[in-house]
Amino acid sequence: MNLRSILVKVSAIIALVLAICMACFVFFISHVLEREIKEGVETTIQQNVALAMDTVELFDEDNEDNAKLYMHVLKEALGNIRATSQTIKTENDDALELISDKMGVLNNNHEISDKIKKLTNGGIPTIFAKSGNEFAAVSTSLLLDDGSRALGMLNKTIYPKMMNKETYVGALNIFGRNYMCVYEPVVQNGEVVAVLFIGYDFTEGLEDLQKTMAQMKLGEHGYFSIFNTKTNKFEIHPTQAGKELSSDVKAAMEKIVKQKEGVEFANTGGVERVVAFEPFDKLNWIVLGSAVTDDFLTPQKVVSKNFIIASIIVTLLLIIVSIFLLKKLVANPIDRLGANLNAITSDFTLKIPIYGKDEIAKISNDINNFIERIRVLISDTKNLSSENSSVANEL
């Protein structure tokens, strides 16, 4: 029996079992940590998007308040407005004559609009008068690139609300500038005869918001963005603001627009991202927070690496201790037992030393008992042989 080979085999089996157990332990711990961290990342990003939404809502409320204040200034400056039965030609359109208690005839009187623009520190007023089944601009401070007045018909999407005698407040992009606009109908004898408009230019404010959100980070490579569902472009984004979307990004945004609110895991360019998003319907916006999961998994990777190193060290130590104990408690006693057995074969008067009370000690004791019986048997045989010799001599 090759005891050394048994020691090696047992040690190898122990090493294999320990390595498998440690590998399973490290894998389990890493998996649990990664899952917990990802869940934490989702929660963190959602909370940060909620904070970004608070910023957007405050920005929108401020714009609305300014636009409504400008409308109040416009109405105070004009006073009561009434329409006559006469029409006055404005550019290519004939519209009802509008008379202000404080400003007189409003048709073609652009000085009034310019004055109100100064009073509101940049507000863009326009006065629309009934023109057939539409409303034509009869006074405005809004200028075209060539310096002429931007006179035209009332936006068709606004028309139904005016006819329903509703005030409309909303954001519009006019000639490349962003305005928070207020439209208010002028009612005379139950009929809408005119529409007052004023726009608060928040283009610079949007740029400030963009700078603010650009400074808001999610991890090392994460960022916030705002997607306009009407133009299908990003209004705020580190690299894609105002640009046409690639097919991959477009498909991803179409999915987000349909879902409107939630959390998605996306893989772009081999990089996994967590994207949380919420809609802001008043401005046709979706506010998004995007973070690279690896930015948050770094602690988990460090912990996993340390676990692997520690597991290797512990496994090696356990293997060394196991080999040492196997050698001391099993291999060496068996070697001694073998040596003692070899000695006994030439001298049956010897006994095997017994150490401890383990299995090898029990075997040694059993062998001693067996040898004792053999010794007795040999002694009896010798005595019997001597007696037989004596009897033979006597005969």
Q: Which pLDDT value is given to residue 5?
A: 62
Contact call for residues 88 and 97 (beta carbons, < 8 A): yes
Contact call for residues 168 and 162 (beta carbons, < 8 A): yes
How far is residue 267's CA from residue 189's CA, in Å, rounded to a whole number? 62
CATH topology of domain 42-61+217-298: Beta-Lactamase (3.30.450)
Q: Which pLDDT value is given to residue 390?
A: 64
Q: Which pLDDT value is given to residue 195?
A: 97
Beta pairing partners, 44: none
Mean pLDDT, 10 residues at a time, over the chain (395 residues)? 63 81 81 76 82 87 94 94 91 89 92 91 93 93 87 91 94 87 95 96 87 79 87 85 84 87 79 86 87 73 76 82 79 75 70 75 79 76 69 60
- What is the CATH class of 79-202? alpha beta
Q: Which pLDDT value is given to residue 193?
A: 96
How far is residue 194's CA from residue 83's CA, in Å, rounded to a whole number? 8
Structure tokens at 212: 């603010």
Residue-wise pLDDT tens digits, 154-167? 999 999 999 999 99
CA quadruple 80, 157, 119, 87: dihedral, nearest 10: -50
Side chain identity at residue 315, one-letter code: T
Phi, psi for residue 131 in degrees, rounded to 5: -135, 95
